[in-house]
């Protein structure tokens, strides 16, 4: 699809030489350009502290970004025309005159202005204040990457300061999991099909699992991660956002506030946890030395930048309950961790068994009816049900209906960042986190943070390359269930 030239934009990328820009943002913009989804007049302006001119920055993009942009194949002509969109402005945050230089550089450029802050959260407020000091906040859109604060207090402080400069409808708090194709299709399945919506409730759903597992450790991010941990890094944002999408009521429409109002109701209905609850329904772990993909890997406490006696969690498993009419009594199991056995992100909806099996014991052994929404590494949706095996006797086996979108649609699946960046450019807020959602998530998470900060107990150890502490499996076993990979 080719957008008209009056959809022009100026996309200003702070942290223009950073890792996120290199791996995600610029490749996503290239793919949108290659697919004809960017207006011809749209411009991209990289901003960083390096003493570079435009030619040097283009060389950097060609060297460092091109390998990521080329993972699905590279169109050399499209790449060349994409580079022609890019400009560069050297900017030191401590120099007010550099922001005046930025204003002069983008003044003649067309369309809506988007400022993407691919920087640490400590720089969000100074950048916004400096933009306002030269009048660049008026009518612009500001994109804030996670983490947005360290706790509720610091998150509110950032939101208060940014909110004095930009109106809420100008602020795009990005969570890239909300841009993934299967998450979008989950909404379509639920709200577009009479088959699923009647089943999406406590009477028919036994439990729901949401997992985001990583094979990698903290790599070179030890200093950051040791002051953050998995609860802040993944649960407060990604996992609770996915939970709210899964559990939300049907919105009035798909406009931004209707969708986010329903997500907020879920977050506010989460059962609060006190200290006694936390010890029963929250597992925190930390990886020790082990073997991952056939290679020996070190313990978290020996990673560069990590304190040797660190109590920072690299694994979290939680049992969550939603206190409303639709979901009362249904456990939601959330899990995330580093140095786990596989890289996978998925949502598993386990449906209740039939009330009486007339088909014999093989029906009980064959497995559950379930819907598995795989977010990464391959994006798929599968509905598992039972079918008779060929041959003599009534022997059942688990089979699945594969919602293979590539067989029905010629267009390839859009990457999450590509979708979200296009939404920013076109002013669509539905897939971005509103401030009250963020506050509700922090309020629910904070008692766990406080309990873990004050307890002297170390996180439960688990071997790198495993699926986490045994206590995680034991927590599910108490409810008569197990993680999906354990059943398989």
pLDDT in tens, the chain (488 residues): 333 334 689 999 999 999 999 999 999 999 999 999 999 999 999 999 988 899 999 999 999 999 999 887 889 999 999 999 999 999 998 888 999 999 999 999 889 999 999 998 899 999 999 999 999 999 999 999 887 889 999 999 999 999 999 999 999 999 999 998 888 888 888 898 888 889 999 999 999 999 999 999 998 888 889 999 999 999 999 999 999 999 999 999 888 899 999 999 999 999 999 988 998 999 999 999 999 888 999 999 999 999 999 999 999 999 999 999 999 999 999 999 999 999 999 999 999 988 777 676 666 666 789 999 998 888 888 999 888 888 777 778 788 888 766 677 766 678 899 999 999 999 999 999 999 999 999 999 999 999 999 988 899 999 999 999 999 999 999 999 999 999 86
CB-CB neighbours of 460 under 10 Å: 17
Cβ 339 vs Cβ 290: under 8 Å:
yes
Burial label for 90, CB within 10 Å (0-12, 13-18, 19+), is middle
* 92 annotated binding-site participant: yes
* 233 annotated binding-site participant: yes
Of 114, 92, 98, 143, give the one whose Cα is nearest residue 38. Answer: 114
Tell me the torsion sign for CA atoms 92, 95, 96, 100: negative
pLDDT at residue number 212: 97
Tell me the torsion sign for CA atoms 145, 67, 112, 432: negative
User: Residue 229: which region, alpha, beta or left (left: phi > 0; alpha: psi -120 to 50)?
Assistant: left
Cβ 314 vs Cβ 284: under 8 Å:
no
β-pair partners for 350: 207, 370
Opening angle at CA 204, ends 202 and 210, nearest 5: 70
Q: Is 15 helix (H, G, I), strand (E, B) or coil?
A: coil
* 141 annotated binding-site participant: no
* 406 annotated binding-site participant: no
pLDDT at residue number 2: 39
pTM attached to this predicted model:
0.93
Helix and strand element counts for the chain (H, E)? 20, 17
| Residue 101, CA distances (Å) to 130, 376, 386 in order | 12, 41, 65
pLDDT at residue number 3: 36
β-pair partners for 46: 13, 88
Q: Which of 33, 64, 238, 252 is catalytic?
A: 238
Cβ 287 vs Cβ 339: under 8 Å:
yes
* 318 annotated binding-site participant: no
| Residue 80, CA distances (Å) to 18, 33, 70, 186, 401 in order | 22, 11, 13, 37, 42
Cβ 178 vs Cβ 375: under 8 Å:
no
Could you please state the CATH topology (level 3) that the domain comprising 5-173 is classified under.
Rossmann fold (3.40.50)
* 460 annotated binding-site participant: no
Could you please state the CATH topology (level 3) that the domain comprising 178-487 is classified under.
Dihydrodipicolinate Reductase; domain 2 (3.30.360)
* 40 annotated binding-site participant: no
The Cα 125–Cα 141 span in angstroms is 15
* 307 annotated binding-site participant: no
- Write down the domain spans for the chain: 5-173, 178-487
* 93 annotated binding-site participant: yes
The Cα 295–Cα 286 span in angstroms is 19
β-pair partners for 396: 388
| Residue 246, CA distances (Å) to 81, 178, 488 in order | 40, 11, 23
Helix (H) or strand (E) holding 113: strand 112-117
238 is an active site residue: yes
The Cα 361–Cα 8 span in angstroms is 63
The Cα 340–Cα 465 span in angstroms is 5
pLDDT at residue number 402: 87
The Cα 65–Cα 27 span in angstroms is 7
């Amino acid at each position: 699809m080719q957008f008209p030239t009056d959809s022009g934009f100026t996309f200003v990328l702070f942290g223009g030489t950073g890792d996120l820009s290199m791996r995600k943002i610029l490749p996503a913009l290239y793919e949108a350009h290659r697919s004809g989804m960017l207006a011809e007049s749209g411009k991209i302006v990289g901003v960083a502290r390096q003493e570079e001119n435009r030619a040097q920055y283009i060389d950097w993009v060609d060297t460092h970004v091109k390998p990521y942009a080329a993972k699905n194949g590279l169109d050399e002509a499209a790449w060349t025309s994409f580079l022609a969109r890019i400009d560069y402005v050297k900017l030191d945050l401590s120099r007010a005159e550099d922001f005046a230089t930025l204003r002069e550089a983008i003044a003649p450029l067309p369309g809506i202005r988007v400022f993407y802050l691919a920087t640490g959260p400590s720089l969000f407020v100074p950048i916004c204040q400096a933009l306002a000091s030269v009048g660049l906040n008026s009518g612009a859109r500001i994109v804030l990457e996670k983490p947005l604060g360290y706790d509720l207090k610091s998150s509110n402080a950032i939101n208060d300061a940014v909110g004095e400069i930009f109106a809420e409808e100008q602020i795009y708090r990005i969570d890239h999991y909300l841009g993934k194709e299967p998450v979008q299709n989950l909404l379509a399945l639920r709200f577009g099909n009479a088959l699923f919506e009647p089943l999406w409730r406590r009477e028919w759903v036994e439990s729901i699992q949401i997992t985001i597992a990583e094979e990698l450790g903290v790599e070179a991010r030890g200093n950051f991660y040791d002051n953050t941990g998995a609860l802040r890094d993944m649960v407060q944002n990604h996992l609770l956002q996915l939970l709210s999408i899964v559990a939300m009521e049907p919105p009035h429409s798909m406009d931004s506030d209707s969708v986010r109002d329903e997500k907020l109701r879920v977050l506010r209905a989460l059962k609060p946890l006190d200290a006694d609850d936390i010890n029963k329904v929250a597992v925190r772990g930390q990886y020790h030395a082990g073997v991952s993909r056939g290679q020996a890997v070190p313990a978290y406490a020996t990673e560069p930048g990590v304190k040797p006696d660190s109590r920072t969690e690299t694994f979290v498993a939680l049992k969550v309950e939603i206190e409303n009419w639709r979901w009362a009594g249904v456990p939601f199991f959330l899990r995330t961790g580093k140095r786990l056995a596989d890289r996978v992100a998925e949502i598993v909806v386990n449906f209740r068994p039939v009330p009486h099996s007339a088909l014999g014991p093989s029906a009980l052994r064959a497995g559950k009816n379930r819907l598995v929404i795989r977010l990464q590494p391959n994006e798929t949706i599968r509905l598992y049900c039972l079918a008779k095996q060929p041959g003599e006797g009534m022997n059942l086996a688990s089979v699945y209906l594969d919602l293979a979108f590539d067989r029905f649609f010629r267009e390839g699946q859009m990457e999450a960042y590509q979708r979200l960046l296009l939404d920013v450019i076109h002013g669509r807020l539905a897939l971005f986190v509103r401030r009250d959602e963020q506050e509700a998530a922090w309020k629910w998470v904070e008692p766990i943070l406080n309990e873990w900060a004050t307890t002297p107990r170390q996180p439960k150890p688990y071997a790198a390359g495993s699926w986490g502490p045994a206590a995680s499996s034991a927590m599910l076993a108490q409810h008569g269930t197990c993680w999906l990979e354990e059943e398989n």
